[in-house]
Structure 1
Amino acid sequence: MITYSRKVFLLLFIMCLVSFLGQAQKSELLTHVEPPFWWVGMENPDLQLLLHGKNISSYTIKIEYPGVQLKKINKVENENYLFIDLSIAKNTEPGTISIEFKNKDQFFNYNYQLKSKNKSRDVGQAITSSDVIYLITPDRFANGDTSNDSTKDTVEKVNRENEDGRHGGDLKGILNNFNYFEELGITTLWLNPFLENDQRAYSYHGYAISDFYKTDTRFGTNKDYKMLVDKAHKTGMKVIMDLVFNHCGSGHWWMKDLPSKDWINQWDTYTKSNFTNIAASDPYVSNHDFDLLTKGWFDINMPDLNLENDFLTTYMIQNSIWWVGYSEIDGIRLDTYPYPNKHAMSNWMKALTTEYPDFYVVAETWAERASYLSYWNNSKASRDGYISNIKSISDYALYYSMVRAFGKNGDISELYKTLAEDFVYGNPENNKVFNGNHDVDRLLALLDDDVNKLKLSMVFTLTTRGIPQIYYGDEILMKNRRPDGRVRQDFPGGWKNDNRNAFTKEGRTKEENDLFEYVKTILNWRKKALAIHNGKLVHYQPINNVYVYFRYTNKENTMIIINNSDKDYINFELNRFKKSLEGYSKGKDIVSGKELQNLKKVNLAKNTAMIIDLVK
């Protein structure tokens, strides 16, 4: 006979066993919950969780947590997904929400964490024209941890001999070289995407993301990235994250089990984008061209995300907000900005800046004319009523003008004429200005190895209006042409077996060190150059391929002279610029260190520039 106490024990044992069995199947039944956690005290109280697991839509869901309301359970055509809408009241306490899942056969609980929002991010470190951005391709910069060169959870293994393969650079390699950034005078780091790219090949660049919430293990971990951001902040630097809304990688986990057919843009046969950015703003665009831009695939291994799907749009918006909250980054560069649904992108900007009003976002807007670019950076609605809500764009118009101006037989009037079109922008002072990046030939190659012309481009990039950005290695004469794998070349000294270390003076050639010191001088001077940070710009029509412009405030004035000609000008007259020189009697050229005792004439060597701090 079973005694009463034994009955109670047996009953408790059975209950625990059932509970254990239910919990034991949780990992199988619920394979993804994204975002992985969230915060209380957000400006937008709404949160939508993506739940993915076998037949998860057959479960009922129950949540009991003070301040958290389960507003709606959304089912989609794939029974392995649920999207649940929560509302989190302002006064909700941080803690763990127990989400109860139950159907006729099983039940389990999932613990979801709500954290305290970091109040310091309400202010943030806004990225402005006082900053200089240094762009890095992580796989090609430095290998700080050889143990993660190849990892078990990713398909492609390291092969440094393959220019399109994985070379082993990682987050620790970047962390190990912060002294290089500090010496050079950089204030902001922008890393090409570091999120997981689990592709069979050509995964090093980072733009075929297979998990939007996970750092690629060949680069490190999420904690490693947070450590990098924290290190940057401790040294007075800032960090920009590179995000992609337009496409994912074919190796993304959801590609094996899409929530719905319209999660990605699908065609009868593989259809590639036309890469014609201007189709997004062209008032006369054909439906054919528009669809190719916005729905065509970026590449065969990069499926095109359909941001007309509201669940996906919410997912991507929350993902960017999550990374800001988690890592405390200072800015985001948004890849291929004109390609996705432009209304979804506008809504994304509103959602992000609602949470973080001073947060910096720069859109990749690849078009050669300011008029094209102005569609995305405008202070008022465009003719079609569109407002992008973007305040910073990639100034490709000025980039191409630099290539033409400083190229063989180039005319510096190209810069003058392009800047004269700034009236089309809402905020040209916030444009990102660059003379090179990961998608184009190295500038030195485009300039036929003319180092003097490269120096002139550095002077212009670092002193004109806007937020300047330079590409890693350009400061040490890297000069490869495309294909991409060659442009994104390894930084010498980033690997232990390299025959030299260009991170140090001893490891650079005389020519490399000359350019490094040239750029370093300008960058470190620029940190305190308030006229460059906040000043207005006035420029004078170039004559004889000499361009003169001023950056000035009420208290400071800097005169920049760029002699883009092959002629020396002895006793170059400054009388034409007397209005801008009014009140100033002398100056100092920060490039050469020479003092100017008067401002009547200067000597200009061919293909050189002067940056003159004016003195009253």
Structure 2
Amino acid sequence: MIKDEGSDWYTKSWPELTAINLIFNNGGQPQTSDLSRTTGEYWWVGQGTGGKWYTSDPDTITEPEYTDTGKLVIHVKSPHSVPKIKYYDSVPSGISTPNAINMTAEKEGWYRFGFNKISSIKAKFTIDGSESAEYFFTNGEWYLENGVLTDFKPKVTSGKSDFREETIYFLMTTRFYDGDTSNNVHCWDDAKAGNLASDPAWRGDFKGLIQKLDYIKALGFSAIWITPIVENASGYDYHGYHALDFTQVDPRLESPNATYQTLINETHARGMKIIQDVVFNHSGNFGEKNIFPLFKKDYTKADTVSNLIKTDPHNLLGSDYDALDGGRQYSRRINAMKEDANDFRHIYHHEKSLGWEDYNVQTGQIAGDCVDLNTENPYVSDYLINAYNRYIDMGVDAFRVDTVKHISRLTFNNVFNPAFQNRGGDDFFMFGEVATRYRQVWNNGNPAISTPFYTWKESKSYPWATREEREASTYQHWQDNANPATQPSSNNHLLDGNNYRQVDYSKKSYMNVIDFPMHWNFKNANDAFNVAVGNDYTYADATWNVMYVDSHDYAPDGAPEGQRFAEPQSVWAENLSLMFTFRGIPTIYYGTEIEFQKGKPIDVGPNAPLSETGRAYFGNHIEGSLTVTDFGKYTNANGAVATTLNHPLAKHIRNLNLIRRNIPALQKGQYSTAGINGGLAFKRRFTDSTTDSFALVTISSSATFNNIPNGTYVDAVTGEAKVVTNGSLSVNVSGKGNLRVFVLTTSKTPAPGKIAESGLTYIK
């Protein structure tokens, strides 16, 4: 029971715990949001979803040192009326107002009120005629929306809801652009890798990315996918996949006035979206600071393994840990995290083996720096949900989910998918990496670890109350889904003749996927196209698939897979022409626009300098400036960035973005190859209450489209118009990567006319 201490204070302690999730309720509504704490003593002041934690008794807070630079700003969201503020009990000056006064309007329904010479104050607000609970504010900026008080501005979106309208530029933040040299840090293994003093692994940062958002927009991209941003710890953690603390942004990415929140706000200010790479499957091998504390970082000292602060409240590492060599220290950490006697709360899976095609691919440890979290443990999954909810609240528009096939689909459908759909809303986009690395859709004949499998809801329920039940159920779920012949199918991607089909999402999960079968076949466009056309029925709706040719991990099979795409430039151009006109969401990895590091190994760990790999620093190629006027439109480019934007592939990508952005059928349309004589040729259509967009596409060769609607078709490449009266249209095109996109003028959506620029290498 909670103990009554008097003066409206109540106390409860848990001496046996190091972390906890909790909710306060006064016996009625509203209760608090989901809260969490780690070892320590805390005071919570608040009512309902509004409130604040303190690390000392706020009733006895000593008067802070007064400074003229003190600043406290309160922002309140009130869409329907001007809010009023009533403030009192300030420190140090004791100011108050007897009556509520109006706040000052900002933008988008926000209002502000600022104090220049106080360090704390209490306030209530009148919003739409109702008085709020009391809030206590300290120095800084605060945002109050719908009763929720945060120290960051709540979610602001770019206004568009269907993520198929976007195209994605994927980058590794630390290797993209360095805007602040003061936060550059060498990884512990940089010396082993041979990275020069001038090229530390932690080099690019949020400040640099903010400075180059206009470059990405000039290429025509509307969404940016960045590698994980949470605090990391490992010998080579510049990529962000070795988490130490899922709740904190890694400070090596941030700068004064260039925080993660700043990046999100700046991205949205340009009408763009931010995709955060997230990891649920594993932490690094130094524990997780909040749910399995072993270490924390000391940022007052050099970032070295010896300067980690050992916390280890249960002495799992042993008193002689510091005297051990690195190999034995690693073994101690793994034993702490994976032995039943040590990890008695089962934060991690304790499986010692790993078979890539066996069930233990979802319970085993996939790499030395990736220790498998027990996502079937409610304590773990709840912690991860609460940690990542913060980033949704900050305004992140989408999650790219790492290592999806290493977690059961049942866990996603029962836990993660509904949680993030609830927090982010139906417009929040999630897509996962199901790294199958097979040319076939079914991963070695095993549906449960295959790409399309994760796009479906469950067809039956399983026991799910306790950790033990969840672990047993995921194993049973694996066994129940061993046969590809029993898997569901869909025609949501297919036109009904020439008409847009009414989609059925009753069985579609909230998880979309990277199209790994296409990726693995993208050594050439024909192979990628054929695997999609022949197997798209296995997805709940393949028009939501995210497509790329290569990434920070792999190139297509035989390209070869371990190198940045090494095929001739014309092959790149043809692949891109398909990717930007076919179903799905096109994505490129940073540098594709200039064939950056072509043929170099993508990732060899700390066994070669990053400058000799596909993860080299890109910043030298985008120095200079430009003025962006719209997506894919810019002027006044100078310096290296002008040269980069003039590369044949950069021009090709920019024009493909312009074409796709102006034709809804290419963004959200279903497709069909019926009645078409040609190679890479297809028709697409998207129809809703305000739009009817129909397009015919052929790539690299001529095609004839039969049994199509009569009417006037206009090519987006040349501007040529053709009037169809007999249901047939023949299109002549030659040159690898060249294309024609003939768009039908309909009563709702006229053809946009000529979009592509003249003088291009591949689009002619």
Q: What TM-score, normalized to structure 1? A: 0.71
Aligned to 2:400: 333
RMSD of Structure 2 on Structure 1 (CA): 4.3
- What is the aligned counterpart of 2:551 among 430, 433, 437? 437
Tell me the equivalent position of 1:189.
Answer: 224
Match status 1:295 vs 2:369: no
The equivalences for 1:193-592 within 5 A come to: 193-199=228-234, 201-220=235-254, 224-252=259-287, 253=289, 254-256=292-294, 257=312, 260-261=343-344, 262-266=346-350, 271=352, 273-274=354-355, 276=356, 279=357, 289-291=358-360, 293-325=361-393, 327-346=394-413, 347-358=415-426, 359-367=428-436, 368=438, 369-371=440-442, 372-379=450-457, 381=459, 384=477, 389-403=509-523, 405-406=524-525, 412=526, 414-441=528-555, 448-478=566-596, 479-484=598-603, 485=610, 486-493=613-620, 506=640, 513-540=647-674, 546-553=679-686, 555-563=692-700, 572=702, 574=704, 577-580=705-708, 582-590=709-717
Name the structure where helix makes up a greater proportion of residues: 1
Cα distance change on mapping 1:336 and 1:595 into 2, 3 Å: same
In 1, the alpha carbon distance for the partners of 2:243 and 2:226 equals: 14
Q: In structure 2, what residue type is equivalent to 1:300? A: G
Q: How far, CA to CA, are the matches of 1:135 and 1:306 in structure 2? A: 29
Change (3 A) 1:438 1:573: closer
> Matches of 2:514 and 2:153 in 1, distance apart?
30
1:24-103 map, 5 Å? 47-53=34-40, 65-67=46-48, 93=133, 95=135
Residue pair 2:164, 2:667 contacting (<8 A) in 1 also: yes
Contact 2:518 2:531 in 1 (8 A): no
* Secondary structure of the structure 2 residue equivalent to 1:436: coil
C-alpha contact 1:192 1:205 (8 A) present in aligned 2: yes
CA distance in 2, matches of 1:611, 1:33: 59
CA drift of 1:421 comes to: 1.7
Gaps of 5+ in 1: 1-28, 70-90, 98-112, 280-288, 407-411, 498-502, 564-568
Structure 1 residues 577-616: Cα deviation after superposition (integer angstroms, max 9, x where no partner): 1323x323442242xx353556754433242331323255
Q: Could you tell me whether the CA contact under 8 Å between 1:441 and 1:487 is conserved in 2?
A: no
Secondary structure, counterpart of 2:282 in structure 1? coil
Q: Within 5 Å, give how 1:31-180 maps onto structure 2.
A: 47-53=34-40, 65-67=46-48, 93=133, 95=135, 115=149, 126-150=161-185, 160-161=195-196, 166-180=201-215
Cα separation, partners in 2 of 1:396 and 1:43, compared to 1, 3 Å: farther
How much does 1:508 deviate?
A: 6.4
Determine the C-alpha separation between the residues in 1 that align with 2:251 and 2:16.
23
- Greater mean deviation of Cα atoms: 179-188 or 593-602: 593-602
Cα distance, 1:439 vs. partner? 0.8
Deviation at 1:211, TM superposition (A): 1.5
Identity in percent: 19
Name the SS for the 2:164 alignment partner.
coil
Displacement of 1:161 after TM fit?
3.2
- Could you say what secondary structure the match of 1:420 adopts? helix
SS at 2:165's partner residue? coil
Q: Give, in angstroms, the shift of residue 505 of structure 1.
A: 7.0
**Is the partner of 2:396 in helix, strand or coil?**
coil
- How far apart are residue 185 of structure 1 and its match? 0.6
CA–CA distance in structure 1, aligned partners of residues 43 and 228 of structure 2 = 37
**Residues 447 and 197 of structure 1, relative CA distance in 2, 3 Å threshold:** closer
Q: Separation in 2 of the partners of 1:380 and 1:121?
A: 32
* TM-score, normalised with respect to structure 2: 0.58
Match of 1:6 in 2: none
Post-superposition CA distance 1:453-496 (Å, at most 9, x none): 10111111111112221111111112244341512222152697
Structure 1 residues 487 and 584, CA, compared in 2 at 3 Å: closer, same or farther?
A: farther
Residues 1:527 and 1:263: Cα distance change in structure 2 (over 3 Å): same
**In 2, Cα distance between equivalents of 1:333 and 1:31:** 32
Distance 1:209 1:165, change over 3 A: farther
Bigger shift: 518-527 or 328-337? 518-527
Shift of 1:451: 0.9
Q: Is the 8 A contact 1:243 1:334 kept in 2?
A: yes
Closer/same/farther in 2, CA of residues 155 and 447 from structure 1, 3 Å limit: closer
Does the 8 A contact of 1:127 with 1:331 survive in 2? Answer: no
* C-alpha contact 2:366 2:372 (8 A) present in aligned 1: yes
Contact 2:206 2:260 in 1 (8 A): yes
Aligned residues of 1:376 and 1:390 also touching (Cα < 8 A)? no
Kindly provide the amino acid, as one letter, of the partner of residue 595 in structure 1: E
Give, in angstroms, the shift of residue 94 of structure 1: 7.1
Q: Which amino acid in structure 2 is aligned with residue 461 of structure 1? A: M
